[in-house]
Structure 1
Amino acid sequence: MENIRPIKTEADYDWAIVEITKYFENEPEVGSPDGDRFDVLATLIEAYEDKHYPITTPDPIEAIQAHMNMAGYKQAALADVIGSRSRASEVLSKKRQLTMDMAFKLNRDWHIPAEVLIQPYHLVNDDQRDKASAT
């Protein structure tokens, strides 16, 4: 394969991106030499990105907040899904854990992936809130 090398540095990564971009406008045939080169470049790029730019899954509350922001929802919309305004407020401020029933409803109604909603996360206690508001 012509000119393929390991991606060890940011410069190598930039080079690989330029090389693979050439194939986006003229996609190579699977199994051809260019197709094989494309596959190798894609694999190298993916390995480098996984190591240097890992994408972490948000905690359940971050995922709910991101969904609300993207959809333009207010806390009242969350209350409609999980039962009450006070419960929505407690969940968003991490004073109350999501229950399986809440996670089910959020997955069903808002299509937030269940595997994101059922992840463990820490609640914020009063001492942590006081320290955070003091800074």
Structure 2
Amino acid sequence: MEPIKPIKTEQDYDAALKELESVLHAKPNTPEGDLLEVLSLLVHEYEQKHYKIELLTPLEALKHEMEEQGLTQSDLAKRFAMSKSTISEILNGRKQMSVRFMKYLYHDLGIPAQVLLS
């Protein structure tokens, strides 16, 4: 095993991912488990700097979940006891989401609160 070093290049990153994959199922408190933990931290740090994923807006998250779950505007209107026109206004950005509606999205569609409150 080579000594662990910071990930500075894409080649380092690829090598770290390959090494990480080889110890992915290591048990805690073993040399392999320690390697897994350290490599995970290094990979995470590199990805935060070079591959940071921006959160979706609440509206983008709603549209994504509708697509993923195969829901229509009518489905949402029925599910949340709202009018189709209100759902349409929300989806077209003409009306803000109410707190009550965001609670539905959180509890019923599984959209993270962090996304809904951004």
Instruction: Please give the TM-score of this superposition, normalised by the length of structure 2.
Output: 0.88
- Partner Cα separation in structure 2 for residue 42 and residue 107 of structure 1: 29
Aligned to 2:53: 55
1:63–1:57 CA distance, 2 compared to 1 (3 A): same
Aligned to 1:126: none
1:28–1:109 CA distance, 2 compared to 1 (3 A): closer
Aligned to 2:21: 21
- Partner Cα separation in structure 1 for residue 48 and residue 76 of structure 2: 33
Aligned to 1:132: none
Contact 2:102 2:116 in 1 (8 A): yes
- Partner Cα separation in structure 1 for residue 55 and residue 70 of structure 2: 21
- Partner Cα separation in structure 1 for residue 5 and residue 112 of structure 2: 37
Paired residues in the alignment total: 117
| AA in 2 matched with 1:70 | E
Whichever of the two has the greater Rg, that structure is 1
- Partner Cα separation in structure 2 for residue 21 and residue 89 of structure 1: 45
Q: Percent identity?
A: 39
Shift of 1:82: 5.6
Hey, which bits of structure 1, 4+ residues long, moved more than 4 A? none
| AA in 1 matched with 2:31 | P
Calculate the aligned-residue CA RMSD, in Å: 1.7
Aligned to 1:72: 70
- Partner Cα separation in structure 2 for residue 82 and residue 16 of structure 1: 50
Aligned to 2:34: 36
Tell me, yes or no, if structure 1 residue 10 matches structure 2 residue 10: yes
- Partner Cα separation in structure 1 for residue 96 and residue 69 of structure 2: 23
- Partner Cα separation in structure 2 for residue 20 and residue 109 of structure 1: 36
Contact 2:20 2:39 in 1 (8 A): yes
Structure 2 stretches of 5 or more lacking a match? none
Contact 1:100 1:118 in 2 (8 A): no
